[in-house]
Structure 1
Amino acid sequence: MKALVLSGGAGTRLRPITHTSAKQLVPVANKAVLFYGLESIAEAGITEVGVIVGDTAEEIQDAVGDGSKFGLQITYIPQDRPLGLAHAVLIARDWLGDDDFVMYLGDNFIVGGISALVEEFGRNRPDAQILLTHVPDPRAFGVAELDGAGQVVGLEEKPEHPKSDLALVGVYLFTPAIHAAVRAIAPSWRGELEITHAIQHLIDARADVRCTVIQGYWKDTGNVDDMLEVNRTVLEALDRRIDGEVDELSETVGRVVVEEGARIINSRIVGPAVIGAGTVVNNSYVGPFTSVAENCRITDSEVEFSIVLRDSSIAGVGRIESSLIGRHAEVTPAQHVPSAHRFVLGDHSKVQIHP
């Protein structure tokens, strides 16, 4: 079995972060989301991986390399434009050959990995197997309709009036039967070749399409709220480790990781939290569910339930919470101007101001 990992896409819901960085490389607990997926694939015993790349191909390739650090053999497959999940299967046809494969969306996060799913698929070998999970608002997802016996009878992509609350999780398993299906479908109203339409084609042809409803944790990390929630989940499993310097005026409480080369000076760190290598926290408070990447500076400030990317600085700004701060960002206090605010914001930013 092979794996096809999708790492293209524009990442519009994570702008402005994704104006300059691939969404799959935004870190969760100081490790790229994409890396968790690659590790799950390796743990499932799969070694041959095709990675679909788009505009951020160079950044993805620099981060992943040849795959050897994950125990994988990586082949990069360029996609000129993000034209749908089924289009990714279409352009990967030659590389996939006649092998079964798992398709994994690179910005998805699944606790517990996919080993059991891959084993189940290998035993039964249906034409397609999909993962489903109950969600509060299925309108933003592909949605499955099941009959009374729990068999998949219909799939819809982002329906206005969903027929169930069962959303498709971003992991799919296929035999070569999927190739004829992706060639048979037409682009949707979005101009994309939808994988839901290809699977529906298999259902209509009476192929063996099965589903597994997962009860574990799954997130599509496509927006800031979900990124922060996944970060919280990962940090909850953190083991305490202090490899950096913590001075005698500082306190670390609970599951705190201070990486080698980091320095904590006259500060309080309350876990679960991780402080990256080379980062300096001075006269500050870092609270629970916060990950600070490498080579950052936090001075005279408080940060909680947030993700701070590498080479950024926060100085003298009081309290920050529920925030995602990009690479090389600077957060400083503004000069006091009555009834005025001053911003430098990226495209599609959202700002909340206390009156």
Structure 2
Amino acid sequence: MTQPKSDPNSDTVDAVILVGGQGTRLRPLTLSAAKPMLPTAGVPFLEHMLSRIHAAGMTHVVLGTSYKAQTFAEYFGDGSAFGLDIEYVVEDEPLGTGGAIRNVADRLRADTAVIFNGDILSGLDLTALLATHRHLAADVTLHLVEVADARAFGSVPTDPDGRVTAFLEKTEHPPTNQINAGCYVFKRSVLEAIPAGRVVSVERETFPGLLESGAVLAGHVDSTYWLDLGTPAAFVTGSADLVRGVAPTAALPGPVGDALILDGASVAATASVIGGSTVGRGVVIEAGAVVDGSVIFDGARVDRDARITRSVIGSDARIGADSIVDDAVIGDRALVGARCELRSGIRVWPDVNLPAGSVRFSTDG
């Protein structure tokens, strides 16, 4: 897959990724792993993001961590295996997006920093984003993505020169289809001016305050691939899009195609794995089973003639014969018996407060 051309000036730019959230909307998957560490198209989601950063020529990365902070360093180490120099800053208490950005200030080495929300899958051309920032001599540049329907988001209008004019709350009649895509370029001096040690919202406090003060806020507008992976439905969609090559990455551990089957998985000849599904290491899929647009974590088992669609099956979970799992999340080590039917928002995970082998059920909403 074609990647953005490296920017010869990108080595003077720091990359900051905010990965401190608890991922409550993805439970039970995030009970055992931080959201950016969930296996997504064969590797932790964060690895896909880092591959894009590396492809754009940035090498110094600061991870702002909190929830399960140690797991990031255990996997990525100092970053050298990925061609990067990675540092870690742990957030002891939730500080909001602005507070989390300010919390990493003392690790920055350059006068420019690109800030990424750690749960966004994007096709943004980072070189073009930095070019916009420099061309407009901006204090902050925001990636703004055009969406078909902006009513579910706050909108961010810009003037003909590309400067942001306002930050608007959700409304039934948004004046623009441009929304904040969760990626920013900051001048270091502006970043350091964010109040330290307290909760700060960039959307409600930092950006409006900068506009009021006369600072230059630029908008880099595009309509490239963009997806917030915060929900189970979005997670399986994003993983499938990475496998099928719809979303860009240099970290896919296999060829782009209709399925990604990792080493050590066993898939019966009469089973069907389609729709951008990922089958993890040590997974067993028996005869007649269908896995469509789903993610099967390492060590899981799908018994004969089971059908799994647009779902996530956790590590070492088991789906019984002739069962149907549709738009559902099955947590690590959960057991779904034969001929069960789980649909639309059902989440299942083992409950430590119940007898061995018991599971808890919940539904979205």
Q: What is the aligned partner in structure 1 of residue 272 from structure 2?
A: 269
**Partner secondary structure for residue 203 of structure 1:** helix
Q: What is the aligned partner in structure 2 of residue 93 from structure 1?
A: 105
**Partner secondary structure for residue 76 of structure 1:** strand
Letter in 1 for 2:103: I
Q: What is the aligned partner in structure 2 of residue 195 from structure 1?
A: 202
**Partner secondary structure for residue 195 of structure 2:** helix
Distance (whole Å) between structure 2 residues aligned to residue 179 and residue 288 of structure 1? 44
**Partner secondary structure for residue 121 of structure 1:** helix
Distance (whole Å) between structure 1 residues aligned to residue 60 and residue 40 of structure 2? 25
Deviations 1:256-293, CA, capped at 9 Å, x for gaps: 33332222225322423332222211123234322323
**Partner secondary structure for residue 321 of structure 2:** strand
**Partner secondary structure for residue 102 of structure 1:** strand
Please provide the CA RMSD for this pair: 3.2
Bigger Cα displacement from structure 2, 289-298 vs 120-129: 120-129
2:151 is the counterpart of 1:151: no
Q: What is the aligned partner in structure 1 of residue 91 from structure 2?
A: 79
> 8 Å contact 2:333–2:349 — kept in the other structure?
no
For residues 41-52 of structure 1, the aligned pairs below 5 Å read 41-52=53-64
Deviation at residue 23 of structure 1 after TM alignment: 1.2
Q: What is the aligned partner in structure 1 of residue 362 from structure 2?
A: 349
> 8 Å contact 1:181–1:199 — kept in the other structure?
no
2:223 is the counterpart of 1:219: no
**Partner secondary structure for residue 143 of structure 1:** coil
Q: What is the aligned partner in structure 2 of residue 57 from structure 1?
A: 69
> 8 Å contact 1:30–1:291 — kept in the other structure?
no
Q: What is the aligned partner in structure 2 of residue 236 from structure 1?
A: 244
- Stretches of structure 2 that go unaligned for 5 or more consecutive residues are 1-12, 247-252, 341-347, 352-359
Number of residue equivalences: 328
Deviation at residue 168 of structure 1 after TM alignment: 0.6
Distance (whole Å) between structure 2 residues aligned to residue 91 and residue 171 of structure 1? 17
Deviation at residue 115 of structure 1 after TM alignment: 3.5
> 8 Å contact 1:290–1:305 — kept in the other structure?
yes
Deviation at residue 202 of structure 1 after TM alignment: 2.2
Bigger Cα displacement from structure 2, 314-323 vs 29-38: 314-323
Deviation at residue 161 of structure 1 after TM alignment: 7.9
Distance (whole Å) between structure 2 residues aligned to residue 150 and residue 2 of structure 1? 24
Distance (whole Å) between structure 2 residues aligned to residue 329 and residue 52 of structure 1? 31
**Partner secondary structure for residue 38 of structure 1:** helix
Question: Relative to 1, partners in 2 of residues 1:195 and 1:112: Cα closer, same or farther, differing over 3 Å?
Answer: closer
Deviation at residue 205 of structure 1 after TM alignment: 2.2
Question: Relative to 1, partners in 2 of residues 1:348 and 1:310: Cα closer, same or farther, differing over 3 Å?
Answer: closer
Q: What is the aligned partner in structure 2 of residue 256 from structure 1?
A: 259
**Partner secondary structure for residue 121 of structure 2:** strand
For residues 97-108 of structure 1, the aligned pairs below 5 Å read 99-108=111-120
Deviation at residue 110 of structure 1 after TM alignment: 0.4
Letter in 2 for 1:314: I
> 8 Å contact 2:295–2:312 — kept in the other structure?
yes
Distance (whole Å) between structure 2 residues aligned to residue 351 and residue 317 of structure 1? 24
**Partner secondary structure for residue 207 of structure 2:** helix
Identity level (%): 28
Q: What is the aligned partner in structure 1 of residue 195 from structure 2?
A: 183
2:301 is the counterpart of 1:294: no
> 8 Å contact 1:3–1:41 — kept in the other structure?
yes
Deviation at residue 97 of structure 1 after TM alignment: 5.1
> 8 Å contact 1:279–1:293 — kept in the other structure?
yes
Q: What is the aligned partner in structure 1 of residue 282 from structure 2?
A: 278
> 8 Å contact 2:334–2:350 — kept in the other structure?
no
Match of 1:308 among 307, 313, 335: 313
2:215 is the counterpart of 1:207: yes
Letter in 1 for 2:330: I
Distance (whole Å) between structure 1 residues aligned to residue 150 and residue 362 of structure 2? 25
Q: TM-score with structure 1 length normalisation?
A: 0.80
Distance (whole Å) between structure 2 residues aligned to residue 208 and residue 151 of structure 1? 7
Letter in 2 for 1:37: M
Deviation at residue 33 of structure 1 after TM alignment: 1.8
2:38 is the counterpart of 1:33: no
**Partner secondary structure for residue 39 of structure 1:** helix
Distance (whole Å) between structure 2 residues aligned to residue 159 and residue 97 of structure 1? 40
- Stretches of structure 1 that go unaligned for 5 or more consecutive residues are 244-253, 336-342
Deviations 1:135-194, CA, capped at 9 Å, x for gaps: 45646645313345543111246679855442211110111232354139x97xxxx311
Distance (whole Å) between structure 2 residues aligned to residue 233 and residue 91 of structure 1? 33
**Partner secondary structure for residue 70 of structure 2:** helix
Match of 1:318 among 314, 323, 327: 323
Q: What is the aligned partner in structure 1 of residue 80 from structure 2?
A: 68
Q: TM-score with structure 2 length normalisation?
A: 0.78
> 8 Å contact 1:235–1:289 — kept in the other structure?
no
Bigger Cα displacement from structure 2, 136-145 vs 265-274: 136-145
Deviations 1:18-66, CA, capped at 9 Å, x for gaps: 2332111222222222111111111111111111111310122222222
> 8 Å contact 2:62–2:89 — kept in the other structure?
yes
Q: What is the aligned partner in structure 1 of residue 336 from structure 2?
A: 331
Distance (whole Å) between structure 1 residues aligned to residue 94 and residue 171 of structure 2? 20
